[in-house]
Structure 1
Amino acid sequence: MTYMIIKRELYLEKIRNYYESDLIKVITGIRRAGKSMILEQIISELRQSGIQKEQIIYVNFEDLDFEYINDAHKLNDFAKSRIINNQKYYLLFDEIQHVKEFEKAIASLKATKNVSIFVTGSNSRLLSGELATLLVGRTVEFKILPFNFKEACEYLRLKGVKVKDDFIFDYIKWGGFPQRFDLKNESEVKNYLESTYNGIITKDILTRNSDIETHKFKTISSYVLANAGKEFSSINIVNYFNAVNNKNKMEIDKKTIYNYLDKMEKAYFVSRVKRFNISGKEVLKTIEKQYAIDTGLRTINTNSVNYEDTFFLENIVYNELIVRGFDVYTGKTYNGEVDFVAIKDLKKCFIQVSYYMINEKTIEREFSAFSPIKDASPKIVLSLDRIDLSRNGIIHINIIDFLLGRVELPMT
């Protein structure tokens, strides 16, 4: 793939510290986000550091050549047959969820051989089953998202495309799945995203042993993605589903909705966001919002894209904060909320996201969201406005400048 030329430094800088560690490096994320690309870049860096080709064992379990390695014993035998001396070996296993009870092989190799192990998977159940107890305390996880805005700009420039600030609208609509940037027009991009979306449902959710009803799941998934960023209400989903399926006499209950929402999260369709009680300075247990892992998935489940829909921008800001290593919550005040509380290294800031603040009324609405907050941590409004609208100690930052890393968020 041509997009392999993009060095995904945001992730590599985190993983690089563990190249020689005996912790198992688990790289997770939605299909087609670029996990295989990350592995290839790790291999390249290992080779550049002087590691010999023979010491690097790479297997993609979606390659038919390796289909026979389908259980822990075969994986263990395969790896041991390639480890021929006491030198350190680097084992990189791509989409390892295809190997039954792979944890047993990984745990055995870790215990008996001089190895550094990297694995990828497209489902967060990768290390959540009973067998995963074999690996408790022995793993470090890295979550990969599709290209963020800066990576998308960088890739297009390497392709010779002149990227202007208005590219943000294309990114808002179609998101950052790497391969979509090689397609020629919106029709092809839409078809690609729909194919990706339906393929994930088929491969990662509607498995052989699944008790999920296909029509019900697709209806709920479409609703959740179309409403990503809005306050979650299971009652609204029940009413929507029952109204849509009234002629078919199908109904759905809250338990099923939460079960399907859990499946969506584990397949990396959405991230679930909790509220932070700003007054009490505590995380509330209730989950209030979901954000799409990529806004392209939101677009294909929405009849039309309104660029003034702040939820698209919120979604992009949320994903950017997560990629940069922040813990992110929605902020609950005694009479309202702010979009995000972002916390990193024991420091935090409060963030409000707006499209354009076209008049004084809009400016007042966005800036006044912070008025109930007595906490002295920085308060920031992000919008597409180019004019600096900072006032009363509240900082205004242009979203594009933030996404491109031109301006850092102040934290205390």
Structure 2
Amino acid sequence: MNHDLLKNIIYDQHELIQNADIVARPSYSFEPNANYVLVGLRRAGKSTLLFKIVQDLVAKGVTWEQIIYINFEDERLSEFQKEDFNDILSVQSELSAERGYFFFDEIQIVPGWEKFCRRMADAKEHVYVTGSNASMLSREISTTLGGRYLTKYVTPYDFDEYLTAQNVPHDTRALLQTKANGRIRSYCAEYLQYGGFPEAIQYTAKREYISSVYQKILLGDIITRNGIRNDYAIKILMKKLAESVKSEISYTKLHGILKSIGISVGKESIIDYIQYAKDAYLIFSVQNYYARFAEKESNPKYYFSDNGLLNLFLDDKKPSLLENAVAVYLTQNHPQDVFYLKSPKTGIDIDFYVPSARQVVQVAYSIQGDAYEREVGNLKKFAATTTETHRYVIVTYEEEKIINDSDVKIEVVPLMKFLLKC
């Protein structure tokens, strides 16, 4: 690899980082002597976190010549191969006699990257890598890396971070002030519709920006990366998954839906397509806590990793957006520990159950009218099956009160306060 070209790329990146206006994300912390793999949805803010690490290093006295930041999506690196990694080490030694700090963005583009990163870690180099595909955490790659890297899963802004980025006060005092509370409510409505992509904040045409991100995920991270030839089928499949948010749905049912509209695709292909979408962090699934193992895998609920993505497919379906926002929030705070509850035997039908937090959550845009008996009734049914203490919550769009029914205390919490852990 031409060393002057690599230096050109590194210096251009230095300028970009120097000029970056970064909103700190305190929920992400990094050990100074550890190496990291950052994974997550495209445009969720992985690169910005690396920018912040670089800026902090420079503030502490590290020179820019020690910073080797390379984004492998740079078109100037389109011919880069694993054999070229050594040139990066050579360029670093040309730039500085001091030990370097290496930042490799979207490194999964280069096949064989993990062996180089393992060698870097063995040599006690400081290395940070990012990727937008869960294959970076596959068993094979994890074995190659040999436990020498810590993993950080990066998501778009949660509502707290979203308000912070918008310079909107949202402490207890602000929530109790009429004007400040109204402003928070306004931003909550925006967050519900457009989600938390950090860069979307700066755009007036947020939907167009989010649509461009989705197209990049679908075409680049799913279709092209996995060699999918029937791109129309997967596009329609994603639309049908969006329309099924709030409901469990099986591979067989999805196969039937596609077949009914004239799309010929095998059930095995549907299973593959859904896994590809999960690998790209576009969607995630929530399983039935009551179900047997095989049923857990084959009959889940699917949600989108950001409300802005889901909203591309919906036409004024605020209840679906509301439930998706709660699903995203719960899975961010309780990874691998969020389920739904559905039992034909007991009639229990509950949106979310978090065993480790002993929290049971229903989601309803409003509990006026018939919705009250349905939502409260399901929580009472569950309470009758357990002797353990649980927190029972109904998340609504804006209603708030405490319900005491049959010795069951139920908190009705508006989405705004639920997302802020109030």
Where 2:242 maps in the other structure, the secondary structure is helix
Preserved contact between residue 248 and residue 299 of structure 2 (Cα < 8 Å) = no
SS in 2 for 1:196: helix
1:3-14 equivalence runs, <5 A: 4-10=21-27, 12-13=28-29
Cα distance between partner residues in 2 of 1:142 and 1:228:
27
- Letter of the aligned partner of 2:183 in structure 1? V
Please tell me the residue identity of whatever aligns with 1:339.
Answer: D
Task: Identify the match of residue 233 of structure 1 among 246, 250, 273.
Answer: 250
Quote the residue 1:380 is aligned against: 393
Deviation string for 1:188-231 (max 9, x for gaps)? 32322222211222211222661441111111122112323321
Counterpart-to-counterpart distance in 1, 2:299 and 2:229: 23
Which 10-residue stretch deviates more, 291-300 or 326-335? 326-335
Q: CA deviation at 1:232?
A: 1.4
Return the offset for 1:86.
9.0
Contact 2:92 2:100 in 1 (8 A): no
State the shift of 1:101 in Å.
0.8
The equivalent of 2:419 in structure 1 is 403
In the alignment, which residue of structure 2 is the partner of 1:170? Answer: 190
Residues 257 and 158 from structure 1, CA distance in 2 versus in 1: closer, same or farther, beyond 3 angstroms?
Answer: same
* Residue 258 (structure 1) shift: 0.8
Q: Deviations over 1:47-96 (max 9, x none)?
A: 3444444443221112245445x222312331354157896543211111
Is the deviation greater in 100-109 or in 76-85? 76-85
Residue in structure 2 matched with residue 410 of structure 1 by the alignment? none
Unaligned runs of 5+ residues in structure 2 are 1-15, 170-179
Structure 1 residue 306: Cα displacement = 2.4
Aligned-residue RMSD, C-alpha = 3.0
Q: Structure 1 residues 124 and 340 mapped into 2: Cα distance closer, same or farther (>3 Å)? A: same
Aligned in 2, Cα 1:65/1:215: closer, same or farther, shift over 3 Å? closer
Residue from 260, 265, 270 that aligns with 1:252: 265
Give me the TM-score of the superposition, normalised by structure 2: 0.81
**Displacement of 1:286 after TM fit?**
4.6
Q: Is the 8 A contact 1:4 1:37 kept in 2?
A: no
Q: Is the 8 A contact 2:40 2:155 kept in 1?
A: yes
Superimposed CA distance per residue, residues 109-163 of structure 1 (whole angstroms, 9 cap, x where no aligned partner): 111x22232111111112327455311433332222222222222223379x993
Aligned to 1:91: 102
From the superposition, tell whether residues 232 and 139 of structure 1 become closer, same or farther in structure 2 (CA, over 3 Å).
Answer: farther
Q: Distance in 2 between matches of 1:183 and 1:158?
A: 17
**Aligned sequence identity (%):** 25
1 CA distance for matches of 2:206 and 2:26? 26
Number of residue-to-residue matches in the alignment: 382
Q: Distance in 2 between matches of 1:287 and 1:157?
A: 42
Asked if the contact 1:28/1:120 (under 8 Å) is kept, the reply is yes
For 2:132 and 2:213, locate their aligned partners in 1 and report how far apart those are by CA, in whole Å: 12
CA distance in 1, matches of 2:70, 2:20: 20
Secondary structure of the structure 1 residue equivalent to 2:156:
coil
Question: In the alignment, residue 102 of structure 1 is paired with which amino acid?
Answer: W
Specify which structure has the higher proportion of helix: 2
CA gap 1:319/1:19 in 2 versus in 1, 3 angstroms: farther
Q: State the one-letter code of the partner of 2:37.
A: V
Q: 1:298 is matched by which residue type in structure 2?
A: L
Q: Secondary structure at the match of 2:103?
A: strand
Letter in 2 for 1:180: A
Q: Secondary structure at the match of 2:403?
A: coil
Tell me the distance in 2 between the aligned counterparts of 1:167 and 1:358. 24
- Change in CA separation of 1:272 and 1:83 when aligned onto 2, cut-off 3 Å: farther
Distance 1:193 1:206 in 2: 18
Residue identity matched to 1:90 = Y
> Is the 2:311–2:321 contact (alpha carbons within 8 Å) kept by the matching residues of 1?
no
The answer to whether structure 1 residue 117 and structure 2 residue 127 are counterparts is yes
The one of 147, 164, 167 aligned to 1:154: 164
Q: Report the more deviating stretch, 94-103 or 49-58.
A: 49-58
Cα separation, 2, equivalents of 1:30 and 1:58? 20
TM-score, L = length of structure 1: 0.83
1:36-75 matches, within 5 Å, as 36-67=47-78, 70-75=80-85
Contact 1:33 1:146 in 2 (8 A): yes
Distance apart, 1:7 and its partner CA: 1.4
